[in-house]
């Protein structure tokens, strides 16, 4: 997105952002404690989070260049305390995940206690994905270059797949083209990637 924070891109519903939409879906779906991990745009994301109606903690990833697993581990350190049975993880790239999907994943976990719970449809896997606390140490030991995927694959046979119809659980928004495909309109000009050929923000 030209160096701009995806979390602050508009969804087209008033001044709602990806961040606001995702936090709302998690809260409505039944998540007790919402943690946002920010890297390069921590200050802007923190300011936006402070304006949300729902309570949310913003944590800084000091080394976002190490990949998604580094952000997951920042969150894990913050949430891993007695009484926490599992961690639900989603990405800012999937802003349209519905509260119903979040609720279905949580209910699937409560019903079965499976080590991994994730949405699925026609062989595809979406987000959010739930990790039982029995996998927390395994996540900590995971190879940063490979991320959490090997951990998910290692426990897929014992995991639970929740069949859903929610397009938002699978709708990845990584590029302006993805944005137009998912939202049906071009990325707003004020949020468009800079045309100068270089990044204008630190």
The parent domain of residue 179 ranges over 6-184
Q: 8 with 18: CB under 8 angstroms?
A: yes
Question: Is 197 within the bounds of a domain?
Answer: no
Q: What is the pLDDT of residues 170-195, one digit of tens each?
A: 999 999 999 999 999 998 876 444 44
Task: Check residues 3 and 193 and name the one with the higher pLDDT.
Answer: 3
Q: Work out the pLDDT band at 107, boundaries 50, 70, 90.
A: very high
Question: Is 83 within the bounds of a domain?
Answer: yes
Closest CA to 90 of 181, 183, 166, 143: 166
Q: 64 with 40: CB under 8 angstroms?
A: yes
Buried b (16+ CB within 10 A) or exposed e, 31-46: beebbbbbbebbeebb
Question: Is 144 within the bounds of a domain?
Answer: yes
Q: What is the pLDDT of residues 108-158, one digit of tens each?
A: 999 999 999 999 999 999 999 999 999 999 999 999 999 999 999 999 999
Question: Is 77 within the bounds of a domain?
Answer: yes
Q: 23 with 33: CB under 8 angstroms?
A: no
Report the CATH number at residue 34: 3.90.550.10
Question: Is 42 within the bounds of a domain?
Answer: yes
Q: 119 with 126: CB under 8 angstroms?
A: yes
C-alpha 180/C-alpha 149 separation (Å) is 28
Question: Is 198 within the bounds of a domain?
Answer: no
How would DSSP label each residue in 44-69?
HHHHHHHT-SS--EEEE-S-GGG-HH
Q: What is the pTM of this model?
A: 0.88
Question: Is 190 within the bounds of a domain?
Answer: no
Question: Is 140 within the bounds of a domain?
Answer: yes
Q: Work out the pLDDT band at 59, boundaries 50, 70, 90.
A: very high
Q: Give how many domains the chain has, as a whole number.
A: 1
């Amino acid at each position: 997105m030209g160096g701009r924070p995806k979390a602050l891109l508009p969804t087209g519903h008033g001044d709602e952002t990806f961040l606001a939409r995702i936090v709302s879906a998690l809260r409505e779906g039944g998540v007790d404690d919402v943690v946002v991990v920010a890297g390069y745009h921590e200050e802007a994301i923190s300011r936006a989070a402070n304006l949300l109606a729902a309570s949310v903690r913003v944590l800084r990833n000091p080394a976002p260049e190490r990949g998604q697993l580094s952000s997951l581990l920042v969150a894990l350190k913050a949430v891993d305390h007695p009484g926490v049975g599992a961690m639900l993880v989603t990405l800012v790239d999937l802003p349209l995940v519905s509260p119903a999907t979040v609720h279905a994943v949580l209910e699937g976990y409560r019903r079965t206690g499976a080590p991994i719970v994730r949405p699925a449809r026609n062989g595809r896997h979406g987000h959010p994905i739930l990790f039982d606390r029995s996998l927390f140490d395994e996540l900590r030991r995971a190879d940063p270059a490979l991320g959490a995927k090997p951990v998910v694959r290692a426990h897929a046979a014992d995991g639970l797949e929740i069949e859903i119809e929610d397009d938002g659980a699978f709708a990845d928004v990584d590029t302006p083209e993805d944005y137009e495909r998912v939202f049906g309109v071009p990325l707003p000009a004020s949020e468009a990637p800079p045309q100068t050929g270089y990044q204008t923000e630190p």
